[in-house]
Amino acid sequence: MDLFRKLFSNKRAEKSSYINVFPSLQKNKEYIQNQLFHSSDLKWRSIRFNQLSGLIVFFESLSDQQRIQNEIIRPLEEKKEGNVDAIIASVDIAKKSDLSQLPQSLVQGNCVLLFEGTAEAYIVGMAAENKRNIVEPENEGAIRGAHDGFIEHLITNLYLVRKRIENPSLVVRYYQVGKATKTKLALLYMQNLANPDLVEEVDQRLGSIVMDTTISPGFIAEMIEDNPSSLFPQILFTERPDRAVAHLMEGRVVILSDGDATAQILPVTFFAFYQSPDDYHSRWIVGSFIRLLRLVSFIIASLVPALYIAIIGFHPEILPVNLIFTVKSSIDKVPFPPILEALLMQITLEVLREAGVRLPSRVGQTIGIVGGLVIGESVVRAGLISYPMVIVVALTAISSFVAPSNEISTATRILGFPLMILAAMFGLIGIMFGILFILIHLCKLESFGTAYFAPVMPLRIKDLKDTFTRFPIWSLNQRPHDPHPKRVNQERYSRGWVHDDPEKE
C-alpha cells in the first residue's frame, strides 16, 4: 500500500508540474530564462513567419549554429508562410505544449522555436557533435584484426557495432541515468540469442538506479553488479567493438554510455578477462599457448612473492643446496624480514606505476627508467633489499601486466598482499588456506545469474574447448553455456574444402 501511494504521489507530482506554453512570447522567454538562471550562453534569435513574431532559443555551447542557420532560419525566411513542420529541414522535430519540458530540451542541445499567439513550441534536434576520430584503443592493442575503437559519442559507438552485425535481431534500448547529469545509456542484445530473463534483470537494475551524477561507467557497474565488495570484477570493460560484438553473438548484453569510450559486457566469467581478440586472429596452437601463458601469469603474479616469503622464512629445505647458499649470502646483509622487503618493493612498484600513468607520456617513460634502474640498483647496493626479492617483484609486475583487462590485472596485484601476509604468518599452510578461500569465493560468486568460475565450477566439459586453450574454429560449434543463450548450437561446418555443401552430406 505504501508503494502504491508513493507511485501515485509521484504521478500526481508529475502532472502538477505540467505548464502550458503561454501565447505570449515575453512570458515564455521569462520562464525559460528563470529556469536556466539567465545563463550567458543561452541565445535568442527573433524571426518572423506567417505574419507572426517568433523566437529561436538555443545554447550556443551545445547547439550547431550552422545547422540552425541552414535548416531553420534560412528556410523560414525564404518561405515566409506555410507549415513549419514541412519547411524546417530536419528529421528530428516535435511539437510540445508543456512549457516545463523546454529547459531540459535546451540543455540536451536542442533548439526551441516559439511563436506569438501560439500555445505550442517546436523542438528541433540541433545538438552539436564535437567528437574525436575513431582510433585504435591504446589499452587494448591488437596485432591483427580491426584497429578501430569506441569513442565518447554514443551514436558513433552504435554505428561501430551495427556495421559489424547487419542483423535486424540486434536490439538497442535507451536509458537515462542521473537526475542532474541525465547520462544516456544504451543496452544492446541479440533478440534471437540473449536470454529474456537476463535482459529483464539488466533492465530492472538499470531502471532502479537513483543517483544525481553518473560520471563514468564505474558508477553504473557498482550499482548493478551482484557483489560490489568482491575484489574480482563481474563486468568486462572493453574499448574494442569487435570484442563487444563477439560477446553479443554469444548471447550476452552490452551497455554503452554517452560520453565514455568503454563498453560494459555482462554476464562474464573469470576466464573471459584473460581472452583477447588476438587469440582468434592467429593459429589455434599459437592462440592456445598465449592464453595458457596469460593464465599462468595470474598464478605467478598472485603467488610468487608469497611463496618466496614462505620458503625463506619457514621452508628453506625445499630449495636445492647450491641455491640455498646463493640466496643466503644475499639475504644475510638485509636488515628486514622478507615480508617487509616484499611490501616495500610492491608498494614502491605501485607508486611508480601510478606516477607513470598520471604524468605525461614523455615524462612517464623517464619514471620507468628511474624506477627500474636507479631505485632498484640503489636499494640493493644499500643493503635494504636482496637481489632475489628484486627478481621476484619484477617477475610479479611483468606477469600482472600480461592480462588484457586492466581490472583483473589490478585485482591480481592486490590479491598478492593478503597472500604475502598469510605466508609470513603461517608459511605454506597459510598460502594453502588463502588459495582455498579464493577458490571458494570464485565458486560462490555470480555475475547476473551466471557462475563466475564457469565452466570449471560447475563443470561443463564442452565449454572447456574455449577456456584454458582455444580449439580450432571449426570445432567450436556451440556457444558458451554460461549466459544461457536461446540457441547454443552455431552454424560452423568443418573445413569447406572437405564439405562444400553441408546439405549434401
pLDDT tens, position by position, 62-96: 999 999 999 999 999 888 788 888 888 788 899 99
Q: What is the pLDDT of residues 380-403, one digit of tens each?
A: 777 888 888 888 988 998 898 899
Please give the helix or strand (H or E) that residue 47 lies within, else none: strand 42-49
Contact 116, 100 (CB under 8 A): no
Query: Could you tell me the pLDDT band of residue 214, with boundaries at 50, 70 and 90?
Result: confident
Contact 209, 182 (CB under 8 A): no
Q: pTM to 2 decimals?
A: 0.86
Measured between alpha carbons, how far is residue 495 from residues 375, 474, 498 in Å? 55, 7, 6
pLDDT at 431 over 90: yes
What per-residue confidence (pLDDT) applies to 475? 86
Locate 473 and state its grid cell. Answer: 574454429
Query: Could you tell me the pLDDT band of residue 240, with boundaries at 50, 70 and 90?
Result: very high
Q: How many CA atoms lie within 13 A of 173 on its CB side?
A: 16
Greatest mean pLDDT among 3-17, 84-98, 222-236 lies in: 222-236
Contacts of 245 (CB under 8 A, 6+ apart): 161, 164, 165
Q: How many residues does the chain have?
A: 505
Choice between 300 and 80, residue whose per-residue pLDDT is larger = 300
Q: How would you classify the pairing of strands 446-447 and 263-266?
A: unpaired
State CA 91 to chain mean position distance.
Answer: 32
State percent of the chain over pLDDT 70.
91
pLDDT at 504 over 80: no
What per-residue confidence (pLDDT) applies to 502? 40
pLDDT at 239 over 50: yes
pLDDT at 5 over 80: no
pLDDT at 35 over 50: yes
Contact 330, 387 (CB under 8 A): yes
Average pLDDT across the chain, whole number:
87
Give the ranges where 58-153 is alpha helix by DSSP (H): 65-68, 74-79, 84-87, 102-107
